[in-house]
Amino acid sequence: MRVLVTGGAGFVGSNFVHYLRQNYPQYEIVIVDLLTYAGNLENLKNPENRAQKFQKHQDRNHHKAFRFIKADIVDKASLRPIFNEHIDAIINFAAESHVDRSIRYPSLFVKTNIMGTQTLLDLAREFKVGKYIQISTDEVYGSLGADGLFTEETPLAPNSPYAASKASADLLVRAYHETYGLDVNITRCSNNYGPYQFPEKLIPFMLFKALSNHALTVYGDGLNVRDWLHVEDHCRAIDLVLHNGKSGEVYNIGGNNEYTNLQVIRTLLRELKKPESLITHIEDRLGHDRRYAIDASKIRKELGWTPKYQYENGIKQTIKWYLNNEEWLRKKA
Ligand code: NAD
């Protein structure tokens, strides 16, 4: 199997590349990434990965097993040679992914997230790629009140330019399935946490601030609820969709771990033995969604997915990773 992983130098994409190398050493992986501010080739060299030594050995014997190509998913001409060599599956992680940046630069999000997706879909169609997976987000569903969960049937109601660009991309993916019969899946997952997350996102951002004894700036009252999912559990879900996903289906992925931003921040401070007086509330983000929570019963029932991590152990392991990789964190922050 020859798998194209776009956005493979980012947070979730690089974790997925490590996951594939560990679990499917026989697969050939082609990584395409533009290496924007969020992409980092260091994410792909994981000294802690137990499979790494084995994999180096494998790579020497099978030099094509793992390949990186710097390219823009919007630029069809630069991607065509990759497809000329045949691709069995595309997993599209490449995106502009930060809500705050989307409020400042919406056009960039339209270009990468919508036009980039359409370019990949066109190539998938032209080169008869067997499977196309769009990595989407629960943010396409908008915001929940105190009760309820997002199911795959929840109407799309994105509130930020980021969420709108992801929802638009999802609609294109659906249309390429309905119109051209492309074998596609869309996965919509909740907030991920784990190693290699760019420190603009809540957990690594707050860890960096706490380690530096700087103020931990929290939007509004900090009571916005997110459903936290360990990135490794996300990777395991994508694996199931890649191999067993039913064509045209959407799968929600969520950890069933709802915590407010303030609760997450307090856990970090407690683990680092830092005072809560570092917390400083600032003006709320524009259009800040109050609550996201996922009903993941479809992927559990149909594909047999079960998360391995509970927030309590996953967060401790994640904090440990950032402490062991403080240089990585400081370089990126
Ligand atoms: P990230 O910002 O860490 O990584 C995105 C990667 O895409 C980077 O390596 C970047 O260089 C690359 N990229 C950006 N523009 C590109 C372009 N035009 N061409 C090629 N590469 C480009 O994001 P992430 O957190 O790893 O998210 C990955 C995917 O998962 C995104 O599609 C995001 O919407 C989705 N997602 C993430 C989360 C989360 O909590 N991290 C939750 C739900 C969904």
| CB of 43 closer than 6 angstroms to any ligand 1 atom | no
Beta strands in 174-267 (DSSP E): 184-189, 192-193, 216-219, 225-227, 229-230, 250-253, 258-260
pLDDT in tens, 181-216: 999 999 999 999 999 999 989 999 999 999 999 999
Rg of the chain over Cα atoms, rounded to whole angstroms, equals: 19
Record the tokens describing residue 279, joined without a space: 């917390």
| CB of 216 closer than 6 angstroms to any ligand 1 atom | no
How much distance in Å is there from the Cα of 229 to the middle of ligand 1?
A: 16
Nearest 5 degrees, angle CA 222-CA 268-CA 270? 110
Active site residues: 138-139, 162
Q: Tell me the backbone φ, ψ of residue 279, rounded to 5 degrees.
A: -75, 125
Predicted pLDDT at 64: 60
Predicted pLDDT at 332: 73
**What is the signed CA dihedral for 93, 98, 102, 108, rounded to 10 degrees?**
-40
The type of residue at 235 is C
Q: Which atom of ligand 1 is nearest to the CA of 9?
A: 9
Kindly report the length of the chain.
333
| CB of 10 closer than 6 angstroms to any ligand 1 atom | yes
How much distance in Å is there from the Cα of 277 to the middle of ligand 1?
A: 33
CA dist list (Å): 211 to 41, 142, 180, 282: 24, 33, 51, 20
Pick from 252, 244, 247: nearest CA to 136? 252
Predicted pLDDT at 45: 86
Predicted pLDDT at 53: 43
Record the tokens describing residue 176, joined without a space: 């390429």
Segments of the chain scoring below 50 in pLDDT: 47-55, 57-62
Predicted pLDDT at 66: 84
Predicted pLDDT at 49: 47
